[in-house]
C-alpha cells in the first residue's frame, strides 16, 4: 500500500480526507477504516451494499486473473499503458474505476517505472476478492473496495481516470478528475469475442459501436486507439474466458454445454480506447 495515495481517498461517511493512522485510515471526524493485511481498505458504504457480496464473485475473479496473467489480453494492457504515458502529466495521479484484480494496473505502473516517471495510482472495485488480489499484485498502489457511483476518491485528485468495461458514472468521474483531466474508457469492438458467441448462442450478435458523448466531457477522437487480435485457446483457457465475462450468467445451458465440448476456441478480440477530457466547470 502506498501511503502517499491515502490523501487521494475520501471518507465514505462524511466525505472528509483520509490519512494513515497505524493500520487504519481515519478522517478528521474520527471515522476509521482498517487496512486489511494485504494493504487494501473497505470504503463501500453499508447502504450501498445491495448484495451480501457485491461485485464479481470469487470464481469470476479467479478466472479473470488466470486468463489475464496468461497474457491473452497483453495487447490491450500494453495499449492502455502507452495511452496513460502519452496522456498523463509528470508526477501523474491515476484512478482505476472498476480495477478488478489489478492486471491492467500492473502493466500501467510497470510502464511508468520503465520510463522513469513518478506516478500514484488508486484503484477501486465493488468485489472484495478482486481488490484483495489487486493489492497483493500491485503493492505500490492503493486499492479500496468501493463503487463507481459512490467513489471513494477525493474531488479533483486524478489526472487520468481509467474505466475498462465497467459501469460509466459520468458525474462521479467528472468529480474525481481535475479540470482538464483525461478519461480513458475501454469498450469492446463490434466483433470482440464473436467466435465465443457463435458457440454460446443460436443467434450471435455484434456489440454496439459506441460513440457516446457524456455531460461534462469533451471527446478526443484523435487520441483514441483501437486494438484487435485473434486468439486460439485450449479448452481450459476458453472456460476461463467464458467465466470472466457476463456471458457466464446469461448463456442458455445448451450453449454452455457446446463450449464445454470444444477442445479449442478461435475468436476475434478487440478493444476501443475512447478518450475524453473533463471540461472546466463540470
User: Could you report the per-residue pLDDT of 210-257, keeping only the tens digit for each?
Assistant: 888 898 999 999 999 999 999 999 999 999 999 999 998 889 999 999
Q: Per-residue pLDDT for 3 more than 90?
A: no
Cα 278 to Cα 124: distance, rounded to the nearest angstrom: 20
Alpha-helical runs (H) found in the chain: 58-69, 74-87, 103-114, 128-137, 170-176, 194-200, 235-243, 247-250, 253-260
Write out pLDDT tens, residues 166-206.
889 999 999 999 999 999 999 999 999 999 999 999 999 99
Q: Per-residue pLDDT for 272 more than 70?
A: yes
Q: Per-residue pLDDT for 51 more than 60?
A: no
Q: Per-residue pLDDT for 1 more than 90?
A: no
Cα 170 to Cα 187: distance, rounded to the nearest angstrom: 15
How deeply is 78 buried, as exposed, middle or buried, from its count of CB atoms within 10 A (0-12, 13-18, 19+)?
middle
Q: What angle do CA 149, 152, 157 make, to 5 degrees?
A: 105
Give residue 45's pLDDT: 75
Residue 45 DSSP code:
-
- Which residues have CB under 8 Å from 115's CB, separation 6+? 85
Mean pLDDT (the chain, rounded): 93
Give residue 54's pLDDT: 54
- The four Cα atoms 25, 165, 83, 73 give a dihedral, to 10 degrees, of 110
Q: Residues 252-263: what's their mean pLDDT?
A: 95
Write out pLDDT tens, residues 74-90.
999 999 999 999 999 99
Q: Which of 40, 47, 52, 44 is nearest to 130 (CA)?
A: 40
Q: Predicted confidence band at 53 (pLDDT cuts at 50, 70, 90)?
A: low
Write out pLDDT tens, residues 129-172.
999 999 999 999 999 999 999 999 999 999 999 999 988 999 99
Amino acid at each position: 500500500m502506498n501511503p502517499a495515495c491515502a490523501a487521494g481517498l475520501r471518507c465514505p461517511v462524511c466525505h472528509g480526507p483520509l490519512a494513515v493512522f497505524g493500520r487504519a485510515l481515519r478522517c478528521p471526524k474520527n471515522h476509521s477504516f482498517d487496512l486489511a493485511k494485504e494493504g487494501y481498505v473497505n470504503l463501500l458504504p453499508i447502504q450501498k451494499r445491495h448484495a451480501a457480496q457485491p461485485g464479481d464473485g470469487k470464481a469470476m475473479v479467479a478466472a479473470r486473473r488466470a486468463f489475464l496473467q496468461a497474457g491473452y489480453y497483453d495487447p490491450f494492457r500494453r495499449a492502455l499503458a502507452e495511452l496513460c504515458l502519452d496522456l498523463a502529466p509528470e508526477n501523474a495521479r491515476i484512478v482505476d474505476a472498476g480495477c478488478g484484480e489489478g492486471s491492467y494496473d500492473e502493466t500501467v505502473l510497470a510502464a511508468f517505472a520503465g520510463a522513469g516517471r513518478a506516478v500514484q495510482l488508486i484503484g477501486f472495485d465493488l468485489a472484495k476478492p478482486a481488490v484483495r488480489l489487486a493489492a497483493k499484485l500491485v503493492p505500490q498502489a492503493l486499492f479500496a473496495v468501493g463503487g463507481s457511483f459512490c467513489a471513494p476518491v477525493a474531488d479533483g485528485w486524478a489526472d487520468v481516470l481509467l474505466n475498462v468495461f465497467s459501469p460509466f458514472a459520468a458525474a462521479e468521474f467528472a468529480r474525481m478528475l481535475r479540470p482538464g483531466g483525461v478519461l480513458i474508457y475501454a469498450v469492446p469492438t463490434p466483433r470482440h469475442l464473436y467466435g465465443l458467441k457463435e458457440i454460446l448462442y443460436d443467434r450471435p450478435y455484434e456489440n454496439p459501436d459506441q460513440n457516446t458523448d457524456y455531460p461534462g466531457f469533451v471527446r478526443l477522437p484523435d487520441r483514441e486507439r483501437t486494438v484487435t487480435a485473434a486468439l486460439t485457446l485450449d479448452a481450459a483457457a476458453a472456460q476461463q474466458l467464458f467465466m470472466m465475462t457476463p456471458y457466464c450468467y446469461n448463456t442458455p445451458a445448451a450453449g454452455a454445454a457446446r463450449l464445454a465440448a470444444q477442445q479449442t476456441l478461435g475468436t476475434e478480440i478487440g478493444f476501443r480506447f475512447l478518450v475524453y477530457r473533463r471540461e472546466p466547470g463540470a
